[in-house]
Amino acid sequence: MIRIYLVLLLIVIAFYALRAFQKAAPEKVARIIRILTYSTIGLALLYLGATGHLNGLFAL
């Protein structure tokens, strides 16, 4: 039952986020996307480093 509530909450958040992106200026949207991209890359590298899988990435 809790999963249903979490999925519904995620859908509502996504709906309001999409509405905000449509109303925002293009410069602001580009800045937010850039920040999200860099944050995602940084968190992925941090996770790989913490779990010990980062050395496999550099072996390529």
In a domain, 13, yes or no: no
In a domain, 46, yes or no: yes
Q: Which of 26, 5, 27, 29 is nearest to 17 (CA)?
A: 29
In a domain, 15, yes or no: no
Rounded to 5 degrees, what angle do the CA atoms 15, 19, 24 make?
145
pLDDT of residue 60: 66
pLDDT of residue 53: 86
pLDDT of residue 54: 84
- pLDDT (tens, 9 = 90+) of the chain, 60 residues, equals 889 999 999 999 999 999 998 999 999 999 999 999 999 999 999 998 899 888 877 776
Q: Based on the structure, what is the number of domains in the chain? A: 1
Per the structure block, which two tokens stand in for 23? 């109303």
In a domain, 18, yes or no: no
Rounded to 5 degrees, what angle do the CA atoms 52, 56, 59 make?
140
Per the structure block, which two tokens stand in for 50? 């913490």
Domain of 37, in residue numbers:
25-60
pLDDT of residue 52: 86
The DSSP call for residue 59 is: T
